[in-house]
């Protein structure tokens, strides 16, 4: 697993030693960031279910201004922290040990808002739907923000977009699906 491009281009990240964490495959990550494009420049990013910090650190490498990592696993956060240090990104990154739903409430109460929110939970456990419902009550996305969910093709989220939001793109890569959600455009 490596940083694809930007200021940390080619840097190999530390990877989990077990199968509790499933890092985003490089080809899926590359496609994801091709879709996001320059939107990442200067963005504030929330990496929920951070795992190794792969998506957040790719964002940072491509010019994100700030990345908040959230995970409930001490091992994952140690891995994320070691990768932040490896990238020398400590000044632009924060790590929070919390359950995703509780973290959303906490970050919302703190007044934080994000331009990009990555949701990459364990597959087929209903986490994407739970996070989307929580974001409806505690909206962390900026007005122009995007939420990108990485999930299994068997994890149905077509009707899970929060009130006032829309799924505007979905891409499948084998078993993995990337679903892009934003505020519904008013015409």
- In tens, the pLDDT along 39-92 reads 999 999 999 999 899 999 999 999 999 999 999 999 999 999 999 999 999 999
For 26-59, letters b (16+ CB in 10 Å) and e give eebbeebbeebeebbeebbbbbbbbbbbbbbbbb
- In tens, the pLDDT along 18-44 reads 655 566 777 888 999 999 999 999 999
Domain range list for the chain? 26-183
Question: Domain 26-183 falls in which CATH fold?
Answer: Rossmann fold (3.40.50)
Give dist(CA 123, CA 15) in Å, integer: 19
pTM: 0.92
Q: What is the DSSP string of 53-64?
A: SHHHHHHHHTT-
pLDDT at 11: 83
Alpha-carbon distances of 5 from 2, 8, 59, 141, rounded to whole Å: 9, 7, 10, 25
Give dist(CA 148, CA 35) in Å, integer: 11
Hunting for tokens 């496609």 — which residue is that?
A: 31
The SS3 assignment for 85 reads helix
pLDDT at 187: 57
């Amino acid at each position: 697993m490596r940083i694809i491009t930007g200021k940390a281009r080619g840097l190999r990240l530390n990877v989990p030693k077990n199968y509790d964490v499933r890092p985003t495959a490089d080809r899926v990550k590359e496609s994801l960031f091709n879709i996001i494009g320059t939107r990442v420049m200067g963005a504030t990013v929330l990496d929920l279910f951070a795992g190794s910090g792969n998506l957040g650190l790719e964002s940072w490498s491509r010019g994100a201004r700030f990345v908040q990592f959230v995970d409930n696993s001490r091992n994952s956060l140690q891995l994320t922290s070691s990768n932040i240090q490896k990238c020398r990104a400590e000044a632009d990154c924060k790590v929070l040990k919390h359950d995703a739903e509780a973290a959303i409430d906490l970050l919302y109460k703190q007044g934080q808002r994000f331009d990009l929110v990555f949701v990459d939970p364990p597959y087929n456990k209903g986490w994407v739907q739970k996070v989307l419902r929580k974001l409806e009550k505690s909206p962390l996305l900026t007005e122009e923000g995007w939420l990108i969910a990485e999930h299994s093709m068997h994890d149905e989220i077509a009707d899970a977009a929060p009130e006032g939001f829309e799924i505007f793109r979905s891409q499948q890569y084998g078993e993995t699906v990337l679903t892009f959600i934003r505020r519904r455009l008013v015409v």
